[in-house]
Every structure is written in structure tokens, then in C-alpha cells.
């Protein structure tokens, strides 16, 4: 049941009617029976924020940049596993096999990072002389 409220001090009929329109089937925005109808005190039974549009962290802040950098790093990791190691092309029938391929891909990714950061080459470790 929806209560229509008239406030004689100011003309609020238009915005009250807009607030009381049906948003979702069965959901209404309504005034609580204890609230003074001329105040801004509203009782809203179901208000849902779309976190993709209104995130908890304010955008263009340092915290947002930190979260976004972490997200782009994980997307680069997923790209590396899917495209560079051709994970999507493999045929696996069980979750165990998919898990092991993901694990081996992650190990290989760490080894690649170690090799790129180290100053010693694999040939020097093994003892092979490289041609100049």
C-alpha cells in the first residue's frame, strides 16, 4: 500500500508522485508512517547501487589508481596464460588437468620473470659458451 502525502507548506505533489512510481514489480518508494510528511525523511525499502557505476572507492583518487593497477596486472596475467601459453586451445576433460595446466603456466610465468630480471644467463649457469 502506498500513502499519498500532501504538504501544505510547499507543493511537493509532483516529486512525491515521481518517487512513488513503481521501479521494479512489487517495489515502491514510500513514506514511513511515523515520519513527518513535510520533512525529507523517507523510508526506502530496497535501494540497490550498481557498483560498476558507483564504486566504493572514489574515482581519480590514489586508492582507485592502486586498485585499477592491480586489476590490469591480473588481466595481463590472464592474457599471458590464455594467449601466450595457448591455454584455450588445450583439451582438458577434468578440472584436475585444467588446474595443473594453470599451475604450470603460473610457474613458467614466474621463471620467465626471473630470467628477465637476472643478469646471469642460463647458458652461463650450465657452462655453455655462447657465440659472439
Query: Domain-by-domain residue ranges, the chain?
Result: 62-117
Q: What are phi and psi of 30, to 5 degrees?
A: -140, 160
Give the residue among 6, 2, 14 at the shortest CA–CA distance from 36.
6
Q: Which three cell numbers stand for residue 28?
A: 515502491
Quick: pLDDT tens for 41-86.
555 555 566 777 777 788 888 988 888 888 888 888 888 888 888 8
Quick: pLDDT tens for 15-37.
555 555 545 555 444 444 444 55
Does the pLDDT of residue 6 top 80, yes or no?
no
The whole-angstrom separation of Cα 78 and Cα 83 is 8
* Separation of first and last alpha carbons in the chain: 86
Q: What are phi and psi of 76, to 5 degrees?
A: -65, -40
Q: Which long-range contacts (CB under 8 A, 24 or more apart) does 105-108 make?
A: 105/80, 105/81, 106/81
How many C-beta atoms lie closer than 10 Å to residue 18's C-beta? 9
Amino acid at each position: 500500500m502506498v500513502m499519498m502525502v500532501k504538504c501544505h507548506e510547499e507543493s511537493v505533489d509532483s516529486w512525491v508522485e515521481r518517487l512513488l512510481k513503481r521501479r521494479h514489480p512489487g517495489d515502491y518508494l514510500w513514506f514511513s508512517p511515523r515520519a513527518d510528511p513535510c520533512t525529507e525523511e523517507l523510508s526506502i525499502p530496497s535501494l540497490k547501487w550498481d557498483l560498476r557505476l558507483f564504486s566504493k572507492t572514489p574515482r581519480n583518487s590514489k586508492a582507485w589508481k592502486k586498485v585499477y593497477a592491480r586489476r590490469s596486472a591480473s588481466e595481463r596475467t590472464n592474457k599471458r596464460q590464455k594467449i601466450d601459453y595457448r591455454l584455450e586451445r588445450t583439451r582438458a576433460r577434468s578440472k584436475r588437468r585444467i588446474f595443473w595446466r594453470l599451475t604450470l603456466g603460473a610457474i613458467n610465468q614466474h621463471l620467465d620473470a626471473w630470467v628477465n630480471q637476472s643478469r646471469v644467463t642460463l647458458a652461463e649457469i650450465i657452462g655453455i659458451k655462447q657465440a659472439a
